Structures are given as structure tokens and as C-alpha cells.
Structure 1
Amino acid sequence: MRWSALSKAALPCVLALGAGVASAPAMALVEEITAVFRPDPSNPMSNKFTNTTPESGMCAWHAGAIARCKALGIFGLRYNDFFADSTDIIPANHDDPRKAAYFKVPSAWRDVQVTHAGTGATETLQMRIAAVGTVWIVSRPPGVSAWAAPGMNWSHYWYNGAPPCQGVGYIAASEISAMFFWIVPEGAGACSTRPSVPIPRMSYRQLEYAYELKTPNPLGMEAGEYKGTISYTVGPGGDFDFGDAMIPPDNVATFNFTLNVEHILKIDLPPGGNRIELLPHGGWQAWLNQGRQPTRLYRDQTFRIAASGRFKMTLECGRVNGNTCGLRNGNGDEVPVQIAVSLPHGLTDASDEAVNKRALRLDGSGTELFQATQYVNNRPATLHFEVGKEDVSEMLKHPGTTYSGAATVIWDSEV
């Protein structure tokens, strides 16, 4: 009996979050965020997207911030076109934090729907802003000493973070300016500090921030490209809120997401594995020597599979016999051969059930969808070929003849 295996290449599946910063004419911050899922044979248990957005700013360039950002799983970007200028004198020791240095970012999780470019399938990722920083410049006098307080250096909050924000152990300063970067805990609200003496003029130049992502499970996603967008308001009372004293020209911050999923589906047969000889258990000796009729003819053919996404299996036959393939001898006598598949742990059917001797049929029923619950890398699986007892009895009526046929088993990632 001859059969062949065909594995169709999987479509790419990547989570892409593009990294480009631009200042749009309509006063908007626009970021392209990119990420990709590509199975890693050296780490098959890692079933997560990899953020491929080029980083900039503190999370990319300062050793202490790099370590902290990596530990928290956040990604930093610098927006050089950002600026904000004070609308009035920054008052000293004011009870209203919005009249001084005030930073509120969307640190709570927001849902973002992403849509498959080809099929329209949707998934949900989540995003939050997890850090913020800028360069501030003040008039002199008073210069940076305006932020000093009794028993406390002017740089205390800028270096350590104004609660609930947390510093990363960094500040770069001159007599009139400082660059800082604060981690913002989830749902933290506003972080603010106030000067101890009035500041006639103050401005911000560039915006540092970091974002955190919760991406969908790529193993349950179709291969290909997913896109989605989320927009935040900027300005007093907005999602990005710098208080009432500092007014930026931007009024919208938009994040465009591209998720690319690159699944693997690879089938390896052993040498000669495409030629199947069906035999009774223990061979033909019991029949030849004792006349004991075999109860079945069979062969279990192992193969190896690597899979990270969805696929289906179908059957094509050189000779059709009912809903399966047929074997025929030279006289035209024919019997059906039953073909089934068993898949390794980590691959299930559409109901999350294990796949054990699942029948392959010409109509495709029962094998329309298999899915990876984890990346399965080069694991053994089995194809089962069998002629049942009644059909063996029919074959034994024609001793000395050979029955043969062809079956094509197809693993198809285009589900």
C-alpha cells in the first residue's frame, strides 16, 4: 500500500507593534507598535509575542532604567516633538497639585481590538502606560533650587519619584533644568510635586514614557497580520494630563498596533515511511502453519510533527471505498482500509479533546480542526492503517493475490 504526506506551509503570524514617532499636523502623538509570534524550537514552552518596536529613551539608553524596564516587562519610547509651557507663575507650596508639576498618564489597562487583515477574525490585547518623564526647564532665579524643601535636596522627588510614582535612580540636571523618569504603578493616578518658591516660567521639552502590553494567546490565533488602534486624550482632564499650569499643544495620542503571527506546521516521515505493508499481528505464520485466520491487517506508521497553530487533516484516495480508501487485487476484488491519526500531547481537537486514533474520512468530518495548546516541537505521532476482520475474511477468499492502493494524508494549515 502506498501513501503520501503533504504539509502546506503556514501563513505568517506576527504581533507587530510599529515603532515610529511622528507629530501629526492635527497636534497628535502617533506611535506604531509592532510585535511578532514566531515559535522558538530552543524554547518551545515560550508561547508569547515578542515586542519588536525599536525602543528609545531611558529604557533603551540608561543602565539603571534598562534593568528596571526589563524586570517590569515594559518598553520605553521618547517623543522628541512634545513640549508644554506654563500659562502662569508656578506658585509655591500651593494646595492644588494641578498648579505645579503634575503628571497623570493612563496607567490602568485598556482593551484594544485587533482584526485579522484577511479573515476579519478579532482578538483583544491590553495596554497601559507604565512610566513617564520629561526634561523641565525653569527660569533663573530661582533655578532648580526652587524644588528644595527644609531638610530635602531639590532633586529628591525627581530622582526618587513623587509618590505613587517611583524613580529609577537617574537624574541629569543643570542650574535650570533636569531630565527625570518615573515608573507609574498600575492604576496609580497622578504623581505631582510643588516648588517651595514661585517659578515665573517653566517648560517641558520631549516626553519619555513606557508602555506595558498583555497580548492574546498566539496559539489560538490565525496566522497572519492583525491591526488595531487606541487613542488617548491629551491635556487638562485628559488621559495624559499635565495639570492646569502646563498646556501641551497635542490633544490626542494614538497607538497603532500590528500583530504578526508566524505559525509552524512541519511533518517529517522516516525513510520509507510512505510505503505501508499491512500484516496480521505476529505476521502470516499463524495462518500459514495453523490455518488461524487473522482478525485484522494493520500497520502503525510513526511520524514527527512540529505545530504551533491550527490545522486540519484531510484524506484523498487513489480508489474510493465509501468514506475512505480502497485496496484492490488484480481480479478487481476490493476492500476498504480504515485510516486514523493519533497526535501528541499539546495538540487537541476543536473541543480540547485529545486526538487518539481519530478516523480520517474523505468528507473530513472529525478532523476539521486541530489546535496547539502549546508549541509542539518535533514530537512523535502515529498514522494507523487497518483492514477489519470481515474484510480480511473477504481477502482470504482470494489467496495468492496482492491488494494495493494509494492514500494521500494532508496536513493543512489553511483552516
Structure 2
Amino acid sequence: MIRDFSLSAGLRRLRGAVCVIALVAAAGGAHAADIHITAEFKPDINDPNKREFVNTTPWSGVCNGTHLQACINNNWWSIDTKVRGTKQGIRTNDYGRDSFFIGMPEPRTVTVTSDDGLHTFDLGVKIIGAALRLVDQDGDGPTEPASTGNARNCSRALSNTNANNRSVMRLWLRQDGGDGVLECSLHWLNTNNYAISEFDFTYKLTTPAPLAMRSGIYTGMTTYRVGGTGEGADFDLGNGVVLDDNIVNVHFRLDVQHAFQLDLPPGSDRAVLAPKGGWTQWSDHGIVPKALERELPFSLSSSGQFSVSLECQYPLPDGRCAIRNVTETADDAPLDIRLTLPGFRDAASGVDAVGLPLTTTMAPPVLTADAFIIRRPSQLHFAVNGDAVKAMLDHPGSHYRGEVTVIFDADP
């Protein structure tokens, strides 16, 4: 007679949690302007090669309007610093500080910290260009106040040349790629007072690797000082400058939403344990099987880290789950449960997740991968081994049952 040993195995999934990176901080003091830069990492199971942040900052400054498409095509991101003031322009052909002049800062690194304060990452911020809009306050200057010739040390990317409105707007890109302090300038064509109606900078972010970051909110901030000659400003606008605001607090908000998906085949809520090859050796020859087992297949997709833990209907002191004889009184039979996730590894030890034992007493392992893994075939293996099998066979006709819950937590 073939004995019926069954295991009800429940798999519970915690769907992929949202991971948000936000870089936010309090404003500086008086005379400070606050601006916000946002980006998003939201992987797509149908596009696993998408592994970078996407800039989601609302358009402002020189790119917002006529030049929007040109900025999109060239991956330029400008933002209005909200700095306003005046500039005394003096007719000159020496590219000096009396001219249309902008000094730009070197790159810097901002530390961003998770909302729980446990994790930090480095964010690189590089100023690759700047734009200045000046309007003739007296209204008696040339229609094109600054030279239309070549700029010194920079490439002019966008401008309002021939606007004929006695204003000048230039977006300059650094020819050195953004490394080190750099001064850009043009000649003035006339001596006059000009209102600074807009001052923008163009930037590039070097973001942390999102696949290595846990779900959560990360915050940080950096501050730039804007000023004139001799003020030690990060952005130097030369001589004759008076500003309403001279400090720019830059807040970065980086929003990461990791993908997580667990796909289970029909019937995965029940696993019937049996010897490999069936019961023939026992029923015909009385040979006790070495194990009663069942492998439960499933597929998993994940772009971030996740943990795996275990809950048992009948827990044993050693952390294993058990199945119980529901027909007559007998000892519980211990289950050995192992998890195999090809391509994943334990984040702490680096050990591949192959035959990873699961118990209720172990710290839930946090699993990670070097890539966005899509629908990877995986297995849960359940087994009663050795002497426990023989003990079960001493109760012919009995039924052993138990519930096991395997929890995949996408927000470990």
C-alpha cells in the first residue's frame, strides 16, 4: 500500500516596493534661493537594459521654451537659479570682467543619506555650462549688446542673437568638459546698465548605481554662491554686479522604483512529498526511501535587493518547519527547505543562492544580483530526510500535513 504524505506549501509575495531617492535639505539663511533637481530610476521588465536614472526636473531657464527641443536632443539640462540683480556693462574688447563674463565652479560630490539614516551614497554634480540673460535697463543700447563673435574658453550653444530687443542671452558649454574652475566671456558692444533677469546653469549628474541601492528616500544638498569680483563666489559674474540673492541651495530628488515580480505556476499552493522514482521500491521490496521530497518551480524578476524568510505552522526548535500526522499520534517530521535562485547571491557573504537553506531562526538573507534579472527559473525544494522517513513509515495509512510560508520582501 502506498502511503500518502502531503505538504501544503504556501508562497506569499510582498510585491516590489518603491525605492525613492530624494536629496533635500533646509535652506541656507537670508538672501538664499532654493532650486530642486529630480531624477527617477524605474526599471521595466520588458526593457532590462534600462539601468540609469532619468532626469525628471521640470524645465526652466534657457531650455524652457524656444530651445527645448535642442536641449532634449543634446541631453542638456538647464535650471533657473532664481538669482536676480544688475550688471554694469562697459564697452571692452579684452574679454575681461567688465564684459559678458561668467566663472564656473569645479565638480563636487554630494553625500546622500537614506531616510532611515543607515545608508549613504555619493552623487557627483558637474556644472557643464551657464546662461545669463541681461536686459538693457536704459533702453538706449544696441539691439544686440554683446558680441556675436566667439566666446573665450567656452562654446556658445544657444542664444537670442538678432532678437533686436536690447537683451542678450547665452548658454555656454565648457570646452574642458566641466573639470576645474573656468571663466567664459564675450566682448561688450556698449556701456550700459543691464538687469539680470535670469541666471541658469547646465549640469550633469553622476548618480549611484541604482541596482545596488535599497528602497527608500535619500537626502542631501549642496550650496553655490553667486557674486562678483572679489567675493569668492562659485559662479563669478565679474565687475559691476549687484544681486538680490547670492546663495543657491540645490536640492536633489532622485526617485527609484525597483521592479519585483514572482510568478508561480498553477497548483503551487500544494506540494505532495514522495520518493524519487515513486513508491515501488518500498511497496514491492520494503526498501525505505532516503527522502520524501518535492521541488516547486517558479520564476522571479528583480532589479533590487530583497530578503527571504520563513514561517511555519509547526515550527521546530532548530528553526525547521515540520509536517504533522493528522491521522494518529506521532512525532512531527522535520522538513529541510532549500531555495535556489540562479544569478542571485547573498549580499552579506557573496555566496550564490543555490540550495540556500531556510529556517525560522536564521537572519533573513538579503539577496542581490549584478543585473536586472528577468523571469529567472528558480526552485524551492522540500524534503523529509533520513531517519524521519523511517519514523513516518511506522504509521501506515497516516496523512502528514503542514503549512509553510516563504516570504519574499522587496523592501528588506
Name the TM-score class by shorter chain.
0.7 to 0.9
Contact 1:315 1:364 in 2 (8 A): no
Shift of 1:178: 2.4
Q: Which runs of 5 or more residues in structure 1 are unaligned?
A: 148-153
| Matching residue within 8, 18, 26 for 1:12 | 18
Aligned to 2:184: 191
Task: Sort the Cα spacing of 1:333 and 1:117 in 2 relative to 1 into closer, same or farther, 3 A.
Answer: closer
Shift of 1:250: 2.2
Partner Cα separation in structure 2 for residue 414 and residue 204 of structure 1: 47
Task: Sort the Cα spacing of 1:125 and 1:221 in 2 relative to 1 into closer, same or farther, 3 A.
Answer: same
Aligned residues: percent identity?
A: 30
| Matching residue within 127, 131, 134 for 2:132 | 134
Aligned to 1:82: 84
Partner Cα separation in structure 1 for residue 337 and residue 29 of structure 2: 63
Specify the SS of the correspondent of 2:236.
coil
Partner Cα separation in structure 1 for residue 159 and residue 198 of structure 2: 17
Deviations 1:15-34 (A, max 9, x none): 3468xxx9x99332210222
Task: Sort the Cα spacing of 1:141 and 1:52 in 2 relative to 1 into closer, same or farther, 3 A.
Answer: closer
| 1:211 lines up with 2:203 in the alignment | yes
Aligned to 2:9: 3
Aligned to 1:234: 226
Aligned to 2:157: 168
Normalised TM-score (structure 1):
0.84
Deviations 1:29-80 (A, max 9, x none): 21022223222222223222222211123334345x6345543x44122356
Contact 2:348 2:366 in 1 (8 A): yes
Q: Superposed, which structure 2 residues align to 1:222-301 within 5 Å?
A: 222-236=214-228, 237-301=232-296
Partner Cα separation in structure 2 for residue 405 and residue 198 of structure 1: 89
Shift of 1:171: 3.0
Partner Cα separation in structure 2 for residue 319 and residue 200 of structure 1: 86
Q: Superposed, which structure 2 residues align to 1:303-322 within 5 Å?
A: 303-321=298-316, 322=318
Aligned to 1:101: 100
Shift of 1:179: 2.1
Shift of 1:346: 4.7
Partner Cα separation in structure 2 for residue 400 and residue 17 of structure 1: 64
Aligned to 2:47: 43
Partner Cα separation in structure 2 for residue 91 and residue 340 of structure 1: 79
What is the identity, as a one-letter code, of the residue corresponding to 2:92?
A
| Matching residue within 331, 334, 337 for 2:332 | 334
Partner Cα separation in structure 2 for residue 60 and residue 46 of structure 1: 26
Specify the SS of the correspondent of 2:321.
strand
Normalised TM-score (structure 2):
0.85
Specify the SS of the correspondent of 1:341.
strand
Contact 2:225 2:248 in 1 (8 A): yes
Shift of 1:267: 2.4
Q: Which runs of 5 or more residues in structure 2 are unaligned?
A: 1-6
What is the identity, as a one-letter code, of the residue corresponding to 2:63?
C
| Matching residue within 151, 156, 159 for 2:149 | 156
Aligned to 2:34: 30
Where is the helix percentage greater, Structure 1 or Structure 2?
1
Partner Cα separation in structure 2 for residue 410 and residue 390 of structure 1: 29
Partner Cα separation in structure 1 for residue 121 and residue 183 of structure 2: 31
Contact 2:71 2:77 in 1 (8 A): no
Deviations 1:111-145 (A, max 9, x none): 11222223453222121222211223457776267
How many equivalent pairs are there? 393
What do you get for the CA RMSD once the two structures are aligned? 2.8
| 1:387 lines up with 2:389 in the alignment | no
Partner Cα separation in structure 2 for residue 182 and residue 77 of structure 1: 14
| Farther-moved stretch of structure 1 (351-360 vs 1-10) | 1-10
Contact 2:45 2:374 in 1 (8 A): yes
Aligned to 1:150: none
Partner Cα separation in structure 1 for residue 21 and residue 56 of structure 2: 9
Partner Cα separation in structure 1 for residue 258 and residue 178 of structure 2: 32
| 1:375 lines up with 2:397 in the alignment | no
Deviations 1:143-168 (A, max 9, x none): 26775xxxxxx4123xxxx2432122
